[in-house]
Amino acid sequence: MLYRKMPKSGDELSILGFGCMRLAQKDGSIDEERATRQIHSAIDKGINYIDTAYPYLNGDGEPFVGKALEGGYRERIKLATKLPCWLIKKNEDLERMLDLQLERLQTEWIDYYLLHALSRQSWENIRDLGALDFLAEAKKNGKIKNAGFSFHDDLETFKEIVDSFDWDFCQIQYNYLDKDFQAGTKGLQYAASKGLGVIIMEPLRGGSLTRIVPPSVEEIWHESEIKRTPAEWGLRWLWNQPEVTVVLSGMNEEDHIEENIRMASQAQPGSLSEKELDLVKRAGDEYRRLTKVGCTGCRYCMPCPAGVDIPTCFEFYNRYHLLGQEDPKRQYYFWLGGIMGKKAHASLCVNCGKCMEACPQHLHIPELLKDVVADLENTELWEK
């Protein structure tokens, strides 16, 4: 396992972090035995950065992580979690929430504490409630060790937040499709120039850069003399940049964990050639040309009051256009049309707008669902 130093604290962090938003599932909830085994194995093999958040996995994420780190594992890692800014209504809520999270995580301190999913509006709201003084005091009394924020908005807002406080680190969505999206490459470099460590989330766009590989992208990868999986191309592109401190991966399959750990023992900054970087650029350009919806599958938009499985609708929609095949249309019908269980297809949408308030990508979800209906539900299957 390779490690990189957090600029201000000097912590040596594994370049691969274990993201706990997409833990192994069983019967609709966390498969605690399997997920615990996966986390322990990852720590035993060198991962020392574990990331969770208050709302993850329907609120069960923090309590599970706290339990999973029993037996000496807590002392071997740096633990990160996030303040749910949308639940803070008054100043007193800040410390109350932190104390609750400490209890849920069964720990006396949090190593890396973030203001969660800041946008222009949520930043201004939490700032005006005294969050910056709260963070400074929490560091002073030892409840947190490092203060940071995760981010989903434009570059101008990102720079304003970076310059507003003596942050230790930040967390941004970044991958070879999102070089110019939200904070992007310019935000990564700006934060690093200010002495912040940078944690990367959605390095593979919620897995979409590995689950759906269009033939035209496969042809690009085949040009490389060194053969790599789509996941390896995506992760190595990130680790190639010295400004990146840790890349989070939402790992829930044993073979994926093993593959990622192998890569994280080899990926040095500047190790990709100019030819390889050009291949990644071309692959990203091709994905952007074909992808219809920039959904990462985070499921913050769920549950939908009308019963639409929004992320799955978008996954089938993207798959339909990325692969250029009719088969995804038939799969969509069977999985979401009620044949395999409860109906959850796009045409159930009633345009309430609740999903848009929660979407960190700021997608106009009701309008996009209309596109899904037009392309995937306009078929004789639905007319039978």
What pLDDT, on the 0 to 100 scale, is given for residue 299?
Answer: 86
Q: Which two tokens stand for residue 172?
A: 């941004």
Q: Taking each helix axis as running N to C, give the angle between helix 274-290 and helix 230-239, from 0 to 180 degrees, rounded to the nearest 10.
A: 120
302 close to 310: Cβ distance less than 8 angstroms: yes
52 close to 62: Cβ distance less than 8 angstroms: yes
Query: At 248, is the secondary structure helix, strand, or coil?
Result: strand
365 close to 359: Cβ distance less than 8 angstroms: yes
For the chain, give percent helix, strand, coil, nearest 5.
45, 15, 40
What pLDDT, on the 0 to 100 scale, is given for residue 310?
Answer: 93
How confident is the model over 201-225, as pLDDT tens digits? Answer: 999 988 889 988 999 999 999 999 9
What pLDDT, on the 0 to 100 scale, is given for residue 383?
Answer: 64
Q: Which two tokens stand for residue 244?
A: 């990146």
What pLDDT, on the 0 to 100 scale, is given for residue 125?
Answer: 97
User: Residue 242: which residues within 8 A CB-CB, separation 6 or more?
Assistant: 269, 270
Output the CA angle 174-35-311, nearest 5 degrees: 45
What pLDDT, on the 0 to 100 scale, is given for residue 384?
Answer: 55
What pLDDT, on the 0 to 100 scale, is given for residue 186?
Answer: 98
> Which carries the bigger pLDDT value, residue 208 or residue 147?
147
How confident is the model over 25-57, as pLDDT tens digits? Answer: 999 899 999 999 999 999 999 999 999 999 999
Least confident of 52-66, 152-166, 312-326: 312-326
What mean pLDDT value characterizes the chain? 93
What pLDDT, on the 0 to 100 scale, is given for residue 66?
Answer: 98
How confident is the model over 344-363, as pLDDT tens digits? Answer: 989 999 999 999 988 988 89
User: Residue 49: which residues within 8 A CB-CB, separation 6 or more?
Assistant: 13, 14, 16, 17, 18, 77, 78, 80, 112, 199, 246, 248
pLDDT band at 173 (very low <50, low <70, confident <90, very high): very high
How confident is the model over 52-106, as pLDDT tens digits? Answer: 999 999 999 999 999 999 999 999 999 999 999 999 999 999 999 999 999 999 9
pLDDT band at 325 (very low <50, low <70, confident <90, very high): low
Q: What CATH code is assigned to 3-273? A: 3.20.20.100
How confident is the model over 217-257, as pLDDT tens digits? Answer: 999 999 999 999 999 999 999 999 999 999 999 999 999 99
| pLDDT surpasses 80 at 170 | yes
Beta 246-249 vs 16-19: how paired, if at all? parallel
Sorted by where each begins, the domain ranges of the chain are 3-273, 310-383
